[in-house]
């Protein structure tokens, strides 16, 4: 993987320009918008909204936001823009003019067992909280003392790995979160709804964390997968920050 330097970016922009059927998968948090102290603080700003609007305006583009967030938040923030939406890392999908559909029948009975454990960690870690989604539970510790919370996060992962015995349910680490979710879900699986449903001559995917790796893997060889941020990735290219990710999209909509 290399940095998306001037030459590679030129190639990408030219491929976009030539493309007649273009599919763009964009992760939301950490990719299009910086992490906020409170998850609700990351609502899209005007610059981002007009950027997404401009991308959707082209008849050649299909733009899909592929997020770990719940579907109500995505609807409220982005529901009017004419985007495809993927919520809860792929549990729910919505075509730009469709209704939400659940990807598959998933168990949720494990939540009753796991919720009290996470609640205990909230009690023991001031500033942390639990978010309950339909197919996952998330312990957020961005607002807690960083050192104390990262020790607790390790401890929590150990506890969870002992309690969770079903291969259907797994523990996932994200940016300042520990998430327990159904493992049948992943962003790559969800992306196939678009990848497999049509012929595309330009495909791009951008994302910043581990859950985006499944998305990168689902892309065709000719596709442009772009990791946003420093950690390891199987993406073809890398950009350093949300600012650079937005700058690339701005260049694309300038055509």
Site track for Mg ion across 153-192, x = CB under 5 A: ----------------------------------------
Among the candidate windows 16-24, 109-117, 142-150, 203-211, which touches Mg ion by CB under 5 A? 203-211
Contact status: 70 vs Mg ion (CB under 5 A): no
User: 203 - beta bridge partners?
Assistant: 23
Number of residues this chain uses to bind Mg ion (CB under 5 A): 5
- The sheet with strand 202-207 has its strands ordered as 2-3, 237-239, 224-228, 202-207, 22-26, 61-66, 84-87, 92-94, 101-102
Tokens 């909204």 belong to residue: 49
Least distance to Mg ion, CB of residue 28, Å: 6
- Give me the sign of the Cα torsion angle 236, 29, 249, 205: positive
Residue nearest to Mg ion (CB): 30
Site track for Mg ion across 87-126, x = CB under 5 A: ----------------------------------------
Burial of residue 248 (number of CB atoms within 10 Å: 0-12, 13-18, 19+): buried
Q: How many CB atoms lie within 10 A of CB 37?
A: 11
Of the pair 64, 110, the CB lying nearest Mg ion is at 64
d(CA 93, CA 133): 15
Least distance to Mg ion, CB of residue 188, Å: 14
With CB under 5 A as the contact rule, the residue among 62, 88, 179, 208 that binds Mg ion is 208
Contact status: 29 vs Mg ion (CB under 5 A): yes
Of the pair 62, 208, the CB lying nearest Mg ion is at 208
Among the candidate windows 33-41, 201-209, 217-225, 238-246, which touches Mg ion by CB under 5 A? 201-209
Among the candidate windows 81-89, 125-133, 200-208, 232-240, which touches Mg ion by CB under 5 A? 200-208
With CB under 5 A as the contact rule, the residue among 12, 30, 118, 121 that binds Mg ion is 30
Active site (annotated) includes residue 27: yes
Among the candidate windows 22-30, 56-64, 77-85, 110-118, which touches Mg ion by CB under 5 A? 22-30
With CB under 5 A as the contact rule, the residue among 12, 22, 27, 249 that binds Mg ion is 27
Binding region for Mg ion (CB under 5 A) = 27, 29-30, 208-209
Catalytic residues: 27
């Amino acid at each position: 993987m290399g940095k998306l330097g001037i030459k590679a970016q030129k190639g990408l922009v030219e491929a976009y320009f030539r493309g007649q059927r273009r599919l763009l998968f964009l992760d939301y948090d950490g990719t299009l918008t910086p992490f906020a102290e409170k998850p609700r603080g990351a609502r899209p700003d005007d610059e981002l909204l007009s950027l997404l609007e401009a991308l959707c305006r082209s008849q050649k583009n299909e733009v899909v936001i592929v997020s770990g967030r719940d579907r109500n938040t995505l609807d409220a923030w982005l529901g009017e823009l004419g985007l495809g939406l993927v919520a809860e890392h792929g549990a729910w999908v919505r075509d730009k003019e469709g209704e939400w559909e659940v990807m598959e029948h998933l168990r949720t009975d494990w939540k009753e067992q796991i919720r009290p454990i996470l609640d205990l960690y909230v009690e023991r870690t001031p500033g942390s909280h639990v978010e309950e989604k339909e197919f996952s539970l998330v312990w957020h510790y961005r607002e807690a003392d960083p050192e104390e919370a990262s020790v607790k996060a390790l401890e929590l992962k150990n506890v969870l790995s002992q309690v969770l015995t079903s291969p259907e349910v797994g523990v996932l680490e994200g940016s300042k979160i520990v998430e327990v979710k159904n493992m049948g879900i992943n962003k790559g699986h969800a992306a196939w709804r678009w990848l497999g449903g049509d012929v595309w001559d330009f495909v791009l995917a951008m994302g910043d964390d581990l859950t985006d790796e499944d998305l990168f893997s689902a892309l065709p060889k000719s596709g442009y997968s772009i990791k946003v941020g420093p950690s390891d990735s199987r993406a073809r290219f890398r950009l350093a920050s949300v600012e650079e990710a937005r700058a690339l999209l701005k260049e694309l909509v300038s055509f």
